[in-house]
Amino acid sequence: MKNFTYFRPTTPEQAVALLENRWGNTELLAGGTDLHDLQKEYVAQPARVVSLSGVNALAGIRVEEKSVRIGAGAKLADIANHAELKRLFPSLTDAADQIGGPQIRNMGTLGGNLCQRNRCWYFRDEHTNCLLKTGQRCFALDGENKYHAIFSQGHRCVIVNPSTLAPALIALGASAVVQGPNGRRTIELGRFFRAPGANNEREHVLEANDMVVEVTIPRSNLANASYEVRHKQAYDWPLVQAAVSFERGDGGVRNPRVVLGHVAPTPHVAEAAARSITGQAVSEATAGAAGRAAAQDAKPLSQNGYKVKLVEVAVKRALIIAAGQKRYWEV
């Protein structure tokens, strides 16, 4: 790891004032589980590190009358184990509970989960000068792309967004409160992510001198669930994740949102799946049809065609869980 100067501000304003208007020379440090890995690989070589461990205002989970406010510094374990959050938003708490192992969840934060860098092995290899560094091409497009995007249309870089909290939060209509040098603003999480294609672009729309201070979720009675298809049940990244939310009505599902994770450079909103399940009663047949609709526009790469089927399964099972029906796959 390249050495650096360490700063420990105590307010979000101080932290932002320490950042620069270009990426790379100064990095924010939250839980450290992603940043230090990147530093050890020399993929990140900041000369200045701004620690958020002294910014007490970033901690805390507040369940209020109209919304739930989660500080960007809230630990993943605190989100996963929060009784009221579990009741209101099981999609979020289940997703948090499946991230890494206990150690990662005790260290990692909400803000870090949203802003972490992607897991592409070409990107994370010091010696591969890919599009997200200063290179001219994406090596995954025609290389080893087993875990890469299947909604690859129009993207020069085919990473998948690594956040598993993001699909759940987008389906719940959450927003990020962002502190910048000129004050605070709110960004819907549905508009928070972007597909990066150069070394001065990250996986989100924040500027280099912005930071997330809080995520707010409107309180609601939405049925919601997140389902991950994975190789291993513990300590693994999902191959495909589906997060869903909908209103329960007499005429079946209303205003559904279906958001896929780990299939595209950003969390992927599956509008066709939402249309498919709207007005239907959730059943294996209707949820299965929604799953097929979610996958219909996929354009997999050479090694990840298997993910198309996983999208169908993940959406179907997430809808079944959200509807409170028997998990037919568990014996």
Partner 1 sequence: MSDTKETTGLSRRQFLKGSGAAAAATALGTAAAPGALAAQAPAAQPVPGMGPAGVKITLQVNGRKMSSTVEPRVTLLDALRNYLDVTGCKRVCDRGTCGACTVLLDNKPVYACSMLALEAQGKEIRTAESLVQGAKLDAVPAAFVRFDAQQCGFCTPGFVVAMKAVLEQNPKATPAEVEKGLAGNICRCGTYEQMRDAIYSLCNTKRGS
Q: Does residue 48 belong to the site contacting partner 1 (CB under 8 A)?
A: yes
Q: Does residue 8 belong to the site contacting partner 1 (CB under 8 A)?
A: yes
Q: Give the residue with the Cβ less far from partner 1, 124 or 194.
A: 124
x/- contact string, 214-243, with partner 1 (CB under 8 A)? --------------------xx--------
Q: How far apart are CA 223 and CA 40, in angstroms?
A: 42
Are β-strands 48-51 and 26-29 bridged in parallel, bridged antiparallel, or unpaired? parallel
Closest separation in Å from C-beta 22 to partner 1: 18
Residue type, 167: P
Among 24, 101, 181, 305, binds partner 1 (CB under 8 A): 101
Q: Name the one range near partner 1 by CB under 8 A: 94-102, 246-254, 264-272, 319-327.
A: 94-102
Q: Does residue 100 belong to the site contacting partner 1 (CB under 8 A)?
A: yes
Asked if residues 190 and 2 have their Cβ atoms less than 8 Å apart, the reply is no
Asked if residues 237 and 99 have their Cβ atoms less than 8 Å apart, the reply is no
The size of the interface with partner 1 (CB under 8 A), counted in residues, is: 40
Q: How far apart are CA 324 and CA 225, in angstroms?
A: 9
Closest separation in Å from C-beta 112 to partner 1: 11
Q: Which of residues 24-43 bind partner 1 (CB under 8 A)?
A: 29, 31-33, 36-37, 39-40
Query: Quick one: tokens of 219?
Result: 């309180």
Q: How far apart are CA 119 and CA 148, in angstroms?
A: 9
3-state SS assignment for residue 311:
helix
Q: Does residue 5 belong to the site contacting partner 1 (CB under 8 A)?
A: yes
Closest separation in Å from C-beta 300 to partner 1: 27
Closest separation in Å from C-beta 12 to partner 1: 10
Please work out, in degrees rounded to the nearest 5, the angle formed at the alpha carbon of residue 3 by the alpha carbons of 126 and 19.
90
Q: How far apart are CA 76 and CA 62, in angstroms?
A: 15
Residue type, 214: E
Q: Give the residue with the Cβ less far from partner 1, 33 or 245.
A: 33
* DSSP one-letter string for 271-303: HHHHHHHTTPPP-HHHHHHHHHHHHTT-B--SS
Q: Give the residue with the Cβ less far from partner 1, 101 or 279.
A: 101
Residue ranges in contact with partner 1 by CB under 8 A: 1-11, 13-14, 17-18, 29, 31-33, 36-37, 39-40, 48-49, 51, 53-56, 77, 100-104, 106-107, 234-235
